[in-house]
Amino acid sequence: MRRVLFALAVFLGLAAPAGAAEVILYSSPDFKGDALRVTADVANLRDFRFNDETSSMVVLSGEWEIYPDKNYGGSGILVPPGRYPNMGAVLFENNELSSLKVHIRKGPPPKPDLTRKVDARVGYDATMEGGAVKDLRFRGLTAFVTVTNDSEADAGATSVKVGLGKKMGDVATYIGPGGNPCGGGKAPWPDRNGGQTTCIGLKGGDIAGKADGDGVSCAIPALKAGASARCVAVFSAAYTWLVPPIGEWNITATVDPGDKVKEANEKNNGAGEQIRVKGDDLPPW
């Protein structure tokens, strides 16, 4: 019969910290055998008849430093939350663990770092004559803005706002944010060189932007470390014949405009940066 032992903070005469860390040690691989639940530093697992017994572990919360010798001696390994079916998964040996303690990070807690990558394209209706453009009318712009949490800290829910750059801002009266002639589940994707705009299906997890003042906003969900979300922003031409055939368009993509997440790298959020739109290499004009 499996033994389930407890090495609790109260047994050690210690107070459990707020949001106490917790780990379960198992005497056999794949979370089998006797188990020991630990919620505080243990200088010698012999006190709990578990010295050199651990062959798998589950870190339920917190980060743990594990050591091959008692009193935190030998080369320690930092283990984050997760399931480890054998000690090799944490670069340790089975039946080697003798002491462990909660890892306390020094300094302020890490902040999320929300970065953004933009892929955008403008579309035109082009009338050709003799290999050159005789008439050119702006149709609209579609931007895919990928927001990634490039840090070790989880990020709360926020938003990204896509706006018109300087040149587009000059003709913003004639461009309507949030329009989507393709309907739900699809977005217009203009072809290069004034070709026909087609409708492409959105990927799972894509977030359709909504008109927000003079731009388009997407609600970005909470992102764990390394996770991403993609905003789809569409601008449509309200009066195509009034938009001049500018060869280079620019947009802005601002992540966390309300400072809800309080990210670490303000430069990467794209506030005020002019992003040149792809796909605007026009035919001879």
Q: Where are the domains of the chain?
A: 4-102, 114-276
| Tens digits of residue pLDDT in 193-213 | 555 678 889 998 899 999 998
pLDDT value at residue 177: 87
pLDDT value at residue 258: 84
Please give the share of the chain, as a percent, with pLDDT higher than 90.
Answer: 44
Q: What is the mean pLDDT of residues 169-173?
A: 63
- Among 56, 109, 55, 102, residue whose Cα is nearest residue 78: 102
pLDDT value at residue 247: 57
* 228 within 8 A of 149, measured Cβ to Cβ: yes
pLDDT value at residue 14: 37
The better pLDDT of the pair 13, 39 is held by 39
Domain 4-102 sits in CATH 2.60.20.10 = yes
CA-CA distance, 131 to 285, in Å (whole number)? 10
Q: What is the mean pLDDT of residues 173-194?
A: 77
Judged against a pLDDT cut of 70, whether residue 68 lies above it is answered with: yes
Judged against a pLDDT cut of 50, whether residue 277 lies above it is answered with: yes
* 176 within 8 A of 236, measured Cβ to Cβ: yes
pLDDT value at residue 74: 94
| Tens digits of residue pLDDT in 74-89 | 999 999 999 999 999 9
Mean pLDDT is highest, among 24-28, 133-137, 265-269, for: 24-28
Judged against a pLDDT cut of 90, whether residue 43 lies above it is answered with: yes
Range name among 72-86, 91-105, 270-284 with the lowest pLDDT average:
270-284
Confidence of residue 125 (pLDDT cuts 50, 70, 90): low
CA-CA distance, 188 to 236, in Å (whole number)? 10
pLDDT value at residue 118: 87
pLDDT value at residue 184: 82
Please give the share of the chain, as a percent, with pLDDT higher than 70.
Answer: 75
Judged against a pLDDT cut of 50, whether residue 10 lies above it is answered with: no
Q: What topology does CATH give the domain 114-276?
A: Immunoglobulin-like (2.60.40)
Judged against a pLDDT cut of 70, whether residue 130 lies above it is answered with: yes
pLDDT value at residue 18: 39
Judged against a pLDDT cut of 80, whether residue 190 lies above it is answered with: no
Q: What is the mean pLDDT of residues 220-236?
A: 92
Confidence of residue 15 (pLDDT cuts 50, 70, 90): very low
pLDDT value at residue 12: 37
CA-CA distance, 48 to 230, in Å (whole number)? 50
Judged against a pLDDT cut of 50, whether residue 162 lies above it is answered with: yes
